[in-house]
Each structure stands twice: as structure tokens, then as C-alpha cells.
Chains A and B, each alone.
Chain A
Amino acid sequence: MMVRVAYPNIFDELIEEFFTPALDVTPTVYPAIDILENDAATVVVAEVPGVKKEDVSLKYENNVLTISGERKPYEIPQDARILLNEMRVRKFTRSIEIPHDVDAEKITAEMNNGVLRVTLPKAEVARTRTIEIK
């Protein structure tokens, strides 16, 4: 089974990479994802640390799941002096094509410890089934 993942703004990233120091640990494709699968569902896991539940939106259309959101800046005292700033991602959006039909009504999502988990149950036609020999 193939999974297609969109890499948005490749060109912007190349420019950004050119100007950022080599030791930068900020990921260039954001958020980082894993795609897991079993007989019943496909699960998309995305790392979104520091993002509140209410600042994330999910859209599922034409077999494409789009995760978008915003990481709001944290409170920082006025007199603070910034010594290191690697957390640069603010707004993000990423689309993932799901390689099977999905029971769209039953898509669920949860957020825990900065990780978003979207469960996309396979539509009845896409499920693995055992065929009985008559």
C-alpha cells in the first residue's frame, strides 16, 4: 500500500534551509507525522507540541486529510532576554492522502502530550476479509 504525503512549500523550505545554521534542530516539514495501519483503521500521528486543541482544525475531503493549526506564542515577561530561540513554527498545514476509502462519519481525533492522533476507520469495502471456500 502506498501513502502519498504532500510536502508544502518545498521552495520556501530550501531557501530557509540555505539561510539557517547547520545545527538547527527545527524540523523543516511540520508537523512531523507517522502513519499507522491495521485491519480496521489508518491512524495519522502528528507532533504538535505547544499547540492547544482549539487551535487545530482537521478536514477530510476526497480521501485527503488536512491538518492545520497555529502554535500561539507563550507568555514571556516584558523584560526577558531571549538566549535561544529554536521554536519557530507558528502556522502550519499538511495534507495526507489516505490510500483507502474511509468511513468519514466515524473519524475521531485526540490530543495528548503534544501529539495529535487521528483515527480514520476503513470503509466496509476497504476492510480485509476472509473468503470462505464453498
Chain B
Amino acid sequence: MTALVPYTPTALTRYEMNERVVPPVTDIYETADSFVVKLDLPGATKESIKLQVEPRKLVVQSSITADESMNLLYSEIGRKRYYREFNIGDGINVEGIHASFEDGVLTITLPKTDEMKAREIKIQ
């Protein structure tokens, strides 16, 4: 049998694509009293982000809810999930870790313990 019109796939739904695990783009800087980790998580929401502090490890992950109702004509973003982990040493005040999410950027502040903070030593 010959097809009258050759089948050309034009659009696929997000559901048909495989979900990729993507490490978020990250900036880290250190100040006198804390470490600050910034991660690009476009498309995530405050509720979808999971932030875990394990012994010596900080894990950031988030799923993305994709719009399944429309045809996908072209895709670079696709279906994905964010995952990245960071090693953290001693000297972090785990209880004091806090985070905020704005414009798709997650900012995590990891305060240093008092012992870790830089101290100026006076010369006697």
C-alpha cells in the first residue's frame, strides 16, 4: 500500500518527550559571615522546589509543570526536572540556612558558624 500523503510528524506533545534532568546554572559567593548560592530555576515555583540539607550535602531539586494542552512546534526547554547537589563542609550553621525565590532565581544563604567567621587578630 502506498500512502497518498507521506506522513510527516509536525508536532509532538510534551508528554511524548523524555524528561531530562538538568543541573541549574549556579553562582556561589562567600562573604565574611555566609555563603550565598544562587540558582536559575526558570519555570519552577516556590512550592515545587525541594531544598534538602543532608550531612555535608545540600540538594536542590524541582519538577516543572509543563503545559500539555498545546502542540509543541519547536523545543529547547522541553520536559525537564532540575537537580543539583553541593558539598558543604563543617562550619555551616545548618539551622540558619534560609532561601528565597524571585524571578526564577533561588537564593540560598548558608550562614557560617562563629568558629568559621574570619577574625581579625590584634597584634599585641
Name A residues whose Cβ lies closer than 8 Å to a Cβ of B. Answer: 1, 3, 5, 25-27, 29, 32-38, 42-43, 45, 47-52, 74, 76-77, 79-87, 111, 113-115
- In the docked arrangement, what's the CA distance between A133 and B32, Å? 77
Closest residue of B by beta carbon distance from A41: B70
Q: Is the CB of B27 within 8 A of A42?
A: no
* Interface bracket on B: 35 or more
Given contacts A3-B73, A49-B42, contact A113 B104 (CB under 8 A): yes
A49: chain B residues within 8 A (beta carbon): 25, 40-42, 103-105
Number of interchain pairs (Cβ within 8 Å): 115
Would you call the interface of chain A mostly helix, strand, loop, or mixed? loop
Interface residues of B (CB under 8 A from A): 10-11, 22-32, 35-36, 38, 40-45, 67, 69-78, 101, 103-105
Contact B27 A87 (CB under 8 A): yes
Which A residues are in CB contact (< 8 Å) with B104?
Answer: 47-50, 113-115
